[in-house]
């Protein structure tokens, strides 16, 4: 029998004497549920923050290896504590607010980029770990919620560029808007194929569908390719780093930011890389399914797949050159968009064949 991780949290609270459903009826059950959900959200926030730190360390060491450098090696064994030193330094930096900016929007933009990303981590079904299901949110529209949350950070980037009162920042914000529009459309169309195949918007059901059949990446290779490239574009890293291209815009929409606010943008980039890896693994590669011949370790198997994609994304970041703006836009509209439509037609053929129509 499988138990939810939220049930485990509620059991621990009850064991230590925190049970509002008994002490304060009739609304105590609601209060208890809110407390359990808040603790679950806090656990996800801590886990996501630690994972982002690990991804940043991996990136710096991996990039150094590929470029025949040493990378972080002074603070802690093999430089493992370098990020803690960098974080302390960033906390100590002055929070500079330039003249003639919109102070409210300027301060608000980094959180509009980072908070929806962290909330998206709550929607991923992490699979099982022995008898515990690591699922924090299991509503019927988790796929739509992920799409909705992913649409909010570009708004924060546009606000950051607009509020900075800087032409380079504004150009970076406009590039971010054009980039997201160009690649979100084929990404959403490729997801339509997944919904047609599985008949659900629930990420956990999509993941479990692949446990009984085969991964959707094999059934829909075109959709998988389109989605992979579109997710890479959403991360805004090389070769798709047009909003932050250093050679042209210094740092794009975040050029006027310093200290902790710049650090939030920086964490958002690496957080999106790992979340994109989790999302692809869940939607196209059966998510937290059991390791073959080793039941009860679906969560570990999901992390393995996610870190493989993370290494792939980081390698692409380091290896490829930046694409020219017009080439980049043409690739999204002239190639990925038609391919995503072809994927829908291919999915229709698969669905009809599965129902015996063809």
- Does residue 1 or residue 316 have the better pLDDT? 316
* Per-residue model confidence (pLDDT) at position 6: 79
Using the predicted structure, report yes or no on whether residue 357 has a pLDDT greater than 60: yes
When pLDDT is cut at 50, 70 and 90, the band that residue 358 belongs to is low
Q: Is 352 helix (H, G, I), strand (E, B) or coil?
A: helix
Looking at residue 54, what is its pLDDT? 87
159-187: average pLDDT: 84
Tokens of 158: 């546009």
pLDDT at 56: 87
More confident residue, 280 or 7: 280
As a whole number of Å, the CA-based R_g of the chain is 22
What pLDDT was estimated at residue 226?
A: 92
Most confident of 100-104, 242-246, 339-343: 339-343
- pLDDT at residue 227, as a whole number: 92
CB 146 within 8 A of CB 297: no
Evaluate whether 118 touches 271 at the Cβ level (below 8 Å).
Answer: yes
Mean pLDDT score of the chain, rounded to an integer? 84
Q: Sketch the domain layout of the chain as residue ranges.
A: 92-129+138-354
Q: Which helix (H) or strand (E) holds 132?
A: strand 132-133
The residue that leads in pLDDT, 203 or 131, is: 203
- Which range, of 92-106, 233-247, 255-269, averages the lowest pLDDT? 233-247
Q: Is the pLDDT of residue 183 over 60?
A: yes
- Any idea what DSSP says for residue 336? I
96-103 contacts, C-beta under 8 A, 24 or more apart:
96/258, 96/259, 98/164, 98/165, 98/166, 98/256, 100/165, 101/163, 101/164, 101/165, 101/256, 102/162, 102/163, 102/165
| Edge-to-edge strand list for the sheet holding 3-4 | 3-4, 132-133, 128-129
Q: In whole angstroms, how far apart are CA 225 and each of 22, 216, 235, 260, 315?
A: 52, 11, 16, 36, 17
> Band of the pLDDT at 7, cuts 50, 70, 90?
confident
Token look-up 């699979």 returns 127
Q: In which residue are the tokens 């993941």 written? A: 207
Lowest mean pLDDT among 12-26, 222-236, 276-290: 12-26
**pLDDT tens digits along 36-65:** 888 888 888 888 888 888 888 888 888 888
The answer to whether residue 70 scores a pLDDT higher than 70 is: yes
- H or E stretch including 129? strand 128-129
Alpha-helical (H) ranges within 67-166 are: 82-92, 103-121, 142-150, 153-163
Cα–Cα distance measured from residue 358 to residue 351, given in angstroms and rounded to the nearest whole number: 9
pLDDT surpasses 60 at 2: no
Q: Which two tokens stand for residue 339?
A: 């391919």
Indicate if the pLDDT at residue 77 is higher than 60: yes
**pLDDT tens per residue, range 303-342:** 889 999 998 988 888 888 877 778 888 888 889 899 999 9
The answer, yes or no, to whether residue 187 has pLDDT greater than 80, is: yes
**Does 79 have pLDDT greater than 90?**
no
Q: What percent of the chain has pLDDT over 90?
A: 10
């Amino acid at each position: 029998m499988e138990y939810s991780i939220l049930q485990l949290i509620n059991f621990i609270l009850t064991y230590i004497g925190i049970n509002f459903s008994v002490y304060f009826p009739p609304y105590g059950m609601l209060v208890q549920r809110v407390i359990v959900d808040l603790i679950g959200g806090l656990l996800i926030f801590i886990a996501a923050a630690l994972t982002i730190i690990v991804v940043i360390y991996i990136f710096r060491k991996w990039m150094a290896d590929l470029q025949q450098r040493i990378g972080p090696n002074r603070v802690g064994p093999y430089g493992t504590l370098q990020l803690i030193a960098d974080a302390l330094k960033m906390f100590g930096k002055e929070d500079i607010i330039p003249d003639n900016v919109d102070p409210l929007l300027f301060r608000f933009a980094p959180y509009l980029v980072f908070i929806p990303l962290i909330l998206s981590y709550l929607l991923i079904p992490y699979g099982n770990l022995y008898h515990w299901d690591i699922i924090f949110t299991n509503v019927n529209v988790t796929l739509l919620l992920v799409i909705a949350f992913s649409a909010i950070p570009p708004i924060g980037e546009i606000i950051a560029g607009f509020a900075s009162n800087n032409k380079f920042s504004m150009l970076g914000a406009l590039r971010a808007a054009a980039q997201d529009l160009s690649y979100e459309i084929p990404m959403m169309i490729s997801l339509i194929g997944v919904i047609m195949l599985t008949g659900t918007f629930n990420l956990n059901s999509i993941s479990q569908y692949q446990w009984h059949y085969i991964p959707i990446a094999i059934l829909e290779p075109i959709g998988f390719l389109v989605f992979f490239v579109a997710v890479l574009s959403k991360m805004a890293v090389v070769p798709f780093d047009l909003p932050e291209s250093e050679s042209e815009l210094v740092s794009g929409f975040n050029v006027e930011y310093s200290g902790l606010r710049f650090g939030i943008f920086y964490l958002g980039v690496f957080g999106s890389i790992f979340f994109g890896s989790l999302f692809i693994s869940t939607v196209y590669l059966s998510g937290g399914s059991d390791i073959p011949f080793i039941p009860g370790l679906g969560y570990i198997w999901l992390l393995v797949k996610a870190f493989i994609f993370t290494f792939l994304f980081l390698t692409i970041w380091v290896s490829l050159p930046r694409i020219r703006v017009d080439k980049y836009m043409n690739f999204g509209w002239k190639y990925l968009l038609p391919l995503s439509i072809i994927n829908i037609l291919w999915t229709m053929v698969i669905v009809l064949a599965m129902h015996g129509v063809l």
